[in-house]
Amino acid sequence: MGNQPMIVLSEDSQRTSGKDAQSMNITAGKAVAESVRTTLGPKGMDKMLVDSSGGVVVTNDGVTILKEMDIDHPAANMIVEVSETQEDEVGDGTTSAVVIAGELLDQAEELLDSDVHATTIAQGYRQAAEKAKEILNEEATEVSKDDRETLVKIAATAMTGKGAESAKDQLAELVVDAVLAVADEDDIDTENVSVEKVVGGAIDNSELVEGVIVDKERVNDNMPYAVEDADVALFDGALEVKETEIDAEVNVTDPDQLQQFLDQEEKQLREMVDKLVDVGADVVFVGDGIDDMAQHYLAKEGILAVRRTKSGDLKRLARATGGRVVSNVDDIEEDDLGFAGSVGQKDIGGDERIFVEDVEEAKSVTLILRGGTEHVVDEVERAIDDSLGVVRTTLEDGKVLPGGGAPETELALQLRDFADSVGGREQLAIEAFADALEVIPRTLAENAGLDSIDSLVDLRSRHDGGEFGAGLDAYTGDVIDMDEEGVVEPLRVKTQAIESATEAAVMILRIDDVIAAGDLRASTDDGGDDEMPPGGGGMGGMGGMGGMGGAM
């Protein structure tokens, strides 16, 4: 082969290696963190995201922002995944997790510049993260399931600074009620808490209904408005006579034959309804349509029927009433029916909906969220989601921490001591990790328009003096005891954020070679290349975000 270069990659693929690859990935990761940083904390700002079809989302929620941004840089995506994991595991802390990941990358960059090897940094970071989780576990306070007051504080803290702010105390009570209502001995499934959004009215008109609300009306005006002690049938099909698949022509020679034909159809419908009557159904939720004739029979039998019930609603109804969704009316049996103490049509916000209440079997509740406009209600829903998540997490783990940057400041302090005990080059990485965590109190201060250096100095000295709960009051700028202020978060919000942020940062740091196949080229480019296709480039779909340009 001699000196002949051997080409193993296709002509279209592009390869970046060594320091270039590292710095390109770090830059992308940092840019993602930078893009959500200003939303952190009670005084964080919101983002308006506009998609290609003109849809608008206004939000303060980290994971929502990143999802809507449609990022396609691979390293940037690893940071986005941090927020997704956080959302799945806890429901809150998505911005914090990403901001920490970004700062870990930033600190690592400095270490790389002073020739600390990436593997050493990775090791130091991992050690620091382990130690941090250990410290938090020790410092966290236990909270019992009956400590309603703390649960409400936790629910309210997760809603701070979001669209729900104005009514957060009242909403926090509803959230705690909702989670407690669906919690049983060993499991809390917040899927059983549904949220029904109603545009109109104020946020503080929101309420909690024990049961399920279906956004439909009864199909026929002659049916009852409400039924007490209702046996509920759930049917995932149509109460109609099946049309033939093939176009058939029926030739009738005299009017009697036509009548027979129609009678036959009527008979089939009558049989379906009879079946429902036989098993004792008082209310029927049907997934598909209901024939006029069937409606008429049902009404005559005093059955309340709803058509075109969404399959999600059918499932929820099944869970709540203890019934079973059947796909063929002929097969329905008494056992398949669920039960609700009351089913009725009620007006909320000028819209009629079916309320299925006093459900017996499973626990199921619906939060009726109200708000002035659709965007407001949507954002309140996201805040409620976070809030449901933290209450659930607290009940599961039973441990809480103060918020407002208190745990991060404490960790930074203790990790610096720990670093001294480790020594070697890892010490530098652990110190860098400690510095990185302080990005949370620093950002809380910055976003509140405070001098971040003053705030940090204040926080550090109070923690030095042994005040674990000292955090930043974003409204006054004072450093105060967060427990007293009622700013409390579940332990897992912090441990999960540290864990995923560390893993993502380490993963990015360890990459020293990016090989992009032809098609991927646009998304792995480092942003400074003339060959980029229009609109593509380093951060792919992030082009529309204000402020991203500066971060690149």
Binding residue for ligand ADP (CB under 6 A) from 96, 150, 190, 452? 96
Instruction: Return the one option of Mg ion, ligand ADP, none that residue 42 interacts with (CB less than 5 to 8 A, by type).
Output: ligand ADP
Of 45 and 252, CB closest to ligand ADP: 45
**20 vs 514: CA distance, rounded Å:** 9
Measured on CA atoms in the order 502, 82, 43, 392, is the torsion positive or negative?
negative
Q: Is 221 a catalytic residue?
A: no
- Which residues ranging from 484 to 543 are in contact with ligand ADP (CB under 6 A)? 487, 489
Contact 22, 511 (CB under 8 A): yes
CB of 153 to ligand ADP, least distance (A): 10
* H-run or E-run covering 536: none
**193 vs 343: CA distance, rounded Å:** 18
Q: Is 305 helix (H, G, I), strand (E, B) or coil?
A: strand
CB of 193 to Mg ion, least distance (A): 18
By C-alpha distance, which of 443, 451, 453, 457 is closest to 477? Answer: 451
Contact 84, 503 (CB under 8 A): no
- Which residues, including other chains, have CB under 8 Å from residue 178's CB and lie 6 or more apart? 193, 208, 365, 367, 388
Identify which range of 239-247, 459-467, 469-477, 518-526 contacts ligand ADP by CB under 6 A. Answer: 469-477
Instruction: Return the one option of Mg ion, ligand ADP, none that residue 150 interacts with (CB less than 5 to 8 A, by type).
Output: none
Going by the DSSP 8-state scheme, the letter that residue 398 receives in this structure is -
Instruction: Return the one option of Mg ion, ligand ADP, none that residue 160 interacts with (CB less than 5 to 8 A, by type).
Output: ligand ADP
Q: Is 95 a catalytic residue?
A: yes
- Which residues ranging from 34 to 53 are in contact with ligand ADP (CB under 6 A)? 39-42, 44
Of 92 and 503, CB closest to ligand ADP: 92
Q: Is 152 helix (H, G, I), strand (E, B) or coil?
A: helix
Q: Annotate each residue in 241-280 with x if it binds ligand ADP (CB under 6 A) or - if it does not, as one string.
A: ----------------------------------------
Please identify which of the residues 16, 27, 39, 61 carries the catalytic annotation.
61
DSSP 80-116: HHHHHHHHHHTSS-HHHHHHHHHHHHHHHHHHHHTT-
Of 239 and 501, CB closest to Mg ion: 501
Identify which range of 185-193, 260-268, 399-407, 507-515 contacts ligand ADP by CB under 6 A. Answer: 399-407
Of 29 and 404, CB closest to ligand ADP: 404
Please identify which of the residues 94, 190, 366, 443 carries the catalytic annotation.
94
Strand partners, 59: 47
- Which residues ranging from 440 to 459 are in contact with ligand ADP (CB under 6 A)? 440, 444
Residue nearest to ligand ADP (CB): 403
Please identify which of the residues 106, 177, 291, 386 carries the catalytic annotation.
386
**324 vs 175: CA distance, rounded Å:** 28
Q: Annotate each residue in 175-204 with x if it binds Mg ion (CB under 5 A) or - if it does not, as one string.
A: ------------------------------
Of 59 and 409, CB closest to Mg ion: 59
Of 20 and 165, CB closest to Mg ion: 165
**Segments of 18-171 assigned E as strands:** 47-50, 56-59, 141-142
- Which residues ranging from 158 to 217 are in contact with ligand ADP (CB under 6 A)? 160-161
CA distances from 386 to 90, 95, 143, 394, 446 (A): 8, 12, 19, 12, 23
**485 vs 228: CA distance, rounded Å:** 46
Please identify which of the residues 95, 157, 443, 495 carries the catalytic annotation.
95
Identify which range of 88-96, 319-327, 330-338, 538-546 contacts Mg ion by CB under 5 A. Answer: 88-96
Q: Annotate each residue in 141-180 with x if it binds Mg ion (CB under 5 A) or - if it does not, as one string.
A: ----------------------------------------
CB of 493 to Mg ion, least distance (A): 8
Chain-centroid distance, C-alpha 511: 30
CB of 79 to ligand ADP, least distance (A): 14
> Does position 89 bind Mg ion by CB under 5 A?
no
**Segments of 423-473 assigned E as strands:** 470-472
**361 vs 384: CA distance, rounded Å:** 25
> Counting beta carbons within 10 angstroms of the beta carbon of residue 439, is it exposed (0 to 12), middle (13 to 18) or buried (19 or more)?
buried
Instruction: Return the one option of Mg ion, ligand ADP, none that residue 124 interacts with (CB less than 5 to 8 A, by type).
Output: none
**116 vs 102: CA distance, rounded Å:** 19
**252 vs 356: CA distance, rounded Å:** 47
- Which residues, including other chains, have CB under 8 Å from residue 357's CB and lie 6 or more apart? 209, 210, 211, 340, 341, 342, 343, 344
**44 vs 266: CA distance, rounded Å:** 63
Identify which range of 119-127, 402-410, 422-430, 453-461 contacts ligand ADP by CB under 6 A. Answer: 402-410
Of 24 and 450, CB closest to ligand ADP: 450
Q: Is 282 a catalytic residue?
A: no
Binding residue for ligand ADP (CB under 6 A) from 314, 472, 509, 551? 472
**474 vs 483: CA distance, rounded Å:** 15
Identify which range of 8-16, 87-95, 206-214, 263-271 contacts ligand ADP by CB under 6 A. Answer: 87-95
First to last CA, the chain: 43
Residue nearest to Mg ion (CB): 92
> Does position 92 bind Mg ion by CB under 5 A?
yes
Q: Is 231 a catalytic residue?
A: no
Catalytic residues: 61, 94-95, 386
Q: Which residues are at the interface with ligand ADP (CB under 6 A)?
A: 39-42, 44, 60, 62, 92-96, 157, 160-161, 403-405, 440, 444, 472-474, 487, 489
Q: Which stretches of the chain bind Mg ion, using CB under 5 A?
A: 92
